[in-house]
Amino acid sequence: RKEVEQDPGPFNVPEGATVAFNCTYSNSASQSFFWYRQDCRKEPKLLMSVYSSGNEDGRFTAQLNRASQYISLLIRDSKLSDSATYLCVVGFNAGNMLTFGGGTRLMVKP
Amino acid sequence: GAVVSQHPSWVICKSGTSVKIECRSLDFQATTMFWYRQFPKQSLMLMATSNEGSKATYEQGVEKDKFLINHASLTLSTLTVTSAHPEDSSFYICSARRPPGVGPDEKLFFGSGTQLSVL
């Protein structure tokens, strides 16, 4: 079993749609959780950290369920520019060790 | 601007040659840098942790004699792919962790990546 698992997609959605991604992790000692966005052959860029209480940044909402060991990302009102691969990242050892999920590809179409 | 600079962006080389990739932290001193490899349509896989002034820590299955890492200063780590072969063709990315208290929340910064193609 992979340490961090994601549905690879692709998720094909029309502009304006709401889309949700889930991610599960196996290490119960994980301490930090992030969503990164990666465009093709580019470096990952931090989208948002994920906190136990859940957090929102504009159209993006992230939630963490420690009991079930999963993280979610909700994107509302999808834009064409949201098309990318979204990486679920789980950290431990004070963030010094990060494990990346395989990524979920999103394609937003007009 | 970029906080971590990675060079070169693209490398095409013949089989058997060695390729050096540089990763520099521009705004902070990084005692630890990380090297990743990403094959097409796959996620980033950690290859090794580069520690300033000491030997790198390699992940299981990564050949340390093939992927030489040098972290001689607090702002520079290099990855050398020795005797490269076509199966080494991949996207290599470095990252550096900014120490706590130096800046805002985001602590891990990535280089822009190096696409290596071995003919």
Q: What is the pLDDT of residues B56-76, one digit of tens each?
A: 999 999 999 999 999 888 899
B83 or B106: which leads in pLDDT: B83
pLDDT of residue A86: 95
Predicted local distance difference test score (pLDDT) of residue A67: 92
Give me the pLDDT at residue A94, please: 64
Kindly determine whether residue A95 and residue B107, on different chains, have CB atoms separated by under 8 Å.
Answer: yes
- CA dist., res. A51 & res. B55, Å (int): 34
Instruction: List beta partners, residue A36.
Output: A46, A87
Question: Which among B34, B97, B115 has CB closest to A41?
Answer: B115
**Measured between CA atoms, how close is A69 to chain B, in angstroms?**
20
- What stretches of B26-115 show up as alpha helix (H) in DSSP? none
β-pairing, B114-118 vs B10-13, is parallel
pLDDT reported for residue B106: 54
Does residue B88 have a pLDDT over 70?
yes
In sequence order, the β-bridge partners of residue A89 are: A34, A100
CA B6/CA B76 separation, integer angstroms:
10
- A28-71 per-position pLDDT tens digit: 888 889 999 999 888 899 899 898 888 999 999 999 999 999 99
What pLDDT shows up at residue A2? Answer: 72
The pLDDT of residue B20 is 97
Helices (H), A2-110: none
pLDDT score at A53: 86
Nearest CA in chain A to B107: A95
Query: Quick check: A66 and A26 in contact, CB under 8 A?
Result: no
Q: How many residues does chain A have?
A: 110
Report pLDDT digits (tens) over A63-106.
Answer: 999 999 999 999 999 999 999 999 999 987 666 678 889 899 99
Residue A109: predicted pLDDT = 96
Among residues B6, B21, B30, the alpha carbon closest in space to that of B99 is found at B30
Q: Does B46 touch chain A (CB under 8 A)?
A: yes
Amino acid letter for position A59: R
For residue B117, is pLDDT > 80?
yes
> Which of B21, B44, B60 should one mutate to test binding to chain A, selecting the residue with the greatest count of A CBs within 10 A?
B44
pLDDT at A29: 86
**B91 reaches A (C-beta below 8 A):** yes
Q: Which of A42, A44, A96 is opposite residue B97, by nearest beta carbon?
A: A96
Mean pLDDT of B86-103: 85
Distance of alpha carbon A107 from alpha carbon A9, whole angstroms: 9
Taking only the tens place, the pLDDT of each residue in B10-51 is 999 999 999 999 999 998 888 889 999 998 878 888 999 988
Q: How far apart are CA B36 and CA B33, in angstroms?
A: 10
Residues of B in contact with A99 (CB under 8 A): 46
pLDDT for position B105: 56
Confidence of residue B1 (pLDDT cuts 50, 70, 90): low
Q: Which of A33, A39, A43 to mutate to test the interface with B (most CBs of B within 10 A)?
A: A43
Tell me the backbone φ, ψ of residue A54, rounded to 5 degrees. Answer: 80, 145
Rounded Cα gap, residues A82 and B40, in angstroms: 20
Q: Report d(CA A101, CA B96) in Å as an integer.
A: 19
